[in-house]
A and B are shown apart, each in its own frame.
Chain A
Amino acid sequence: MRTDLAVIGAGPAGLAASLAASARGVRVALLDAEPEPGGQYYRRPAAGLRARRPRAPHGRWRTWTRLRDGLAASSVRRLADHHVWCVERRPDGLTVHALLGPEQEQPAEVHARAVLLATGGHEVVLPFPGWTLPGVVTAGGAQAMLKGGLVVPGRTAVVAGTGPLLLPVAAGLAAAGVSVAALVESADPRRLVRYAGPLVGKLPEGAGYAAGLLRHRVPFLARHTVVRAHGDERLTGVTVAALDAHGRLRPGTERHLPCDALAVGHGMLPHTDLAEGLGCRLDGPAVAVDGEQRTDVPGVWAAGEATGIGGAALALAEGHIAGRSAAARLRGTAPDPGAWAPAARARARLRASASALDAVYAPPGRWTDRVTDDTVVCRCEEVDAGAVRAAVAGLGAGDPRTVKLLTRAGMGWCQGRMCGPAVAALAGCAPTPSRRPFARPVPLGVLARPHADTAGPHPTDHPAGTGPSTDHPAGTGRPADRPTERGPS
């Protein structure tokens, strides 16, 4: 199919962007991998579960209903179950390549004059002995399974790691009847006081979760870490210990907490595969954007966690700005930033609070010291820390890519999304962009399939005056690298 603006990701950023652009007369196609819009943040129980109080595992329900009703009343073309694996620059625009879910074998293409990447983020989990045991799940994973499937990983859980996500995860599990043995946070949340100014807007939400934890009598262990997960075929407990100011274990503080579930997370990373495939410039781990949320690739906007982890409210502001900018540019006009001044103020404020949270919630220094040589680091290829260290110390690998070539760490199904930060840290270097050509596995049959040329020029689709603006045109990139005519069938 063909559209003006293809928005990839139906979380807060993608929804806000789609509504803003379509309200200004732009044809919008909204692609998302899930059957229902909302993204991870607004994930709700599957329809078949017929939840009468779907808001129960949620905050910010009113914002969701506004987005949901706005989407229903809009002309946005919603493309659910579309797993996007690549966005291709073509002479006349951009082609979004997707696989239809959940099987992800049938291809689908959307041809657009502009693309808005609202691809969200994923959780970082740093390895520790025992982290591959069944019953150890990511904090976000525990939350997603609870929000979407109304199921929990066990009867007694420990929630551990670092970051603001741990609070709602622990509160959600406790409310669902799980006995939460402890919330183990490696940072010292008292440091948040230093950032009281930028964080003032976040306090009510955090206080709500904290009250939930008090109600369920969940012990909060600040400046503690999980040292090891125990069990043979399944998790039976964890050892936790206190940390000193340098991130080292305080001797004599180790204790055992029996549990059959551990929800663990150490922050989030932006999903940048599609942006990297397009050649967008990154700023650290995030897609670099200007004040209008434009990437440096013509015709490509980005918003939300993809441009830096900052939460749902920031994603809504960025998405709104991106959608308005794209709508104006697609009409061939320069947008007036004054028109979105409230969203820009919210964006500035929320970026400041995201920086403050980042400064407080960081993984403890010296965490790699506690990763024993026999700890699996790359879960897919089953590469242990000893192999990574041997590649560095014995074979002279100086960067994650060389470690990968020598050990296979990062070569498996997840393409290093789970182990990338850990491998880089064990190798003693900064994480580098992964440069994955495809954002997800693609069947060879789809790649080998003869491509119908539906992306050729169709002048009737672009009435005079609605073409891409000359200062930011779509698709002036490299020429198409494959035949534009239908191949042999």
Chain B
Amino acid sequence: MNPREPSGARPGPAFTVTFDGRPLEALPGQTVAAVLWAADVVSWRSTRVAARPRGVFCGIGVCFDCLVTVNDRPNQRACLVPARPGDVIRTQEGTGHAH
């Protein structure tokens, strides 16, 4: 079942963002994290020390585990930042400033 079903959501037209080059469908109002979860992506950061994958943990902007690079700006909290048409979302390696 689509998790949008119980609330009867009829979102506006979907738009496209990319995640590590792959086009993903996004809905108006969704955060970057919601777009990624809807595409069954649950990790988009690799940690600074052990290079382990991370994604959403607290979901409300407290834990900073979901940091991601959006349009070349690293360290964006995916659970807070709204997705916008054409966003280029990339997995964040370490601090995101390595390049």
Contact = CB atoms under 8 A, between A and B. Distances in A.
Interface in B26-81: 27-31, 33-34, 37-38, 42-43, 47-50, 52-65, 67, 77, 79-81
Given A134-B42, A135-B42, A176-B3, A417 B62 contact: yes
19 contacts: A46-B31, A50-B12, A103-B81, A122-B62, A137-B57, A138-B59, A144-B60, A146-B3, A150-B3, A151-B34, A151-B38, A177-B2, A177-B3, A178-B3, A382-B50, A413-B64, A414-B64, A418-B57, A418-B63
Interface in A354-402: 379-382
Interface of B: 1-12, 27-31, 33-34, 37-38, 42-43, 47-50, 52-65, 67, 77, 79-82
Interface core residue of B29, B31, B48, B63 (most chain A CB under 10 Å): B63
B8 A49 contact: no
A152 interface: yes
Nearest to A81: B80
B79 A145 contact: yes
Interface of B is mostly: loop
Contact of B42 (A40, A234, A380): A234
A144 B58 CA distance: 9
B43 A233 contact: yes
A381 B49 CA distance: 8
Contact of B53 (A134, A176, A413): A134
Interface string A299-329: 0000000000000000000000000000000
Interface residues of A, number: 55
Interface of A: 33, 40, 45-54, 56-57, 101-103, 122-123, 125, 132, 134-138, 140-146, 148-154, 175-178, 233-234, 379-382, 412-414, 417-418
B93 to A, nearest CB: 14
Nearest to B12: A48
A48 B29 contact: yes
Given A122-B58, A417-B63, A149 B37 contact: yes
Contacts of B28: 46, 48-49
Contact of A177 (B1, B54, B81): B1
Contacts of A382: 47-50, 52
A45 B64 contact: no
Contacts of A135: 42, 55
A48 B11 contact: yes
A144 B1 contact: no
A144 B7 CA distance: 14
A51 B59 contact: no
Contacts of B63: 138, 379, 413-414, 417-418
Interface core residue of A103, A141, A148, A379 (most chain B CB under 10 Å): A141
A175 B11 contact: no
A379 B49 CA distance: 11
Nearest to A135: B42
A153 B37 contact: yes
Given A52-B7, A143-B59, A176-B5, 18 more contacts: A46-B29, A46-B82, A48-B12, A48-B29, A50-B12, A52-B9, A56-B8, A134-B54, A135-B42, A141-B57, A141-B59, A149-B34, A151-B38, A152-B3, A153-B37, A177-B1, A379-B54, A413-B67
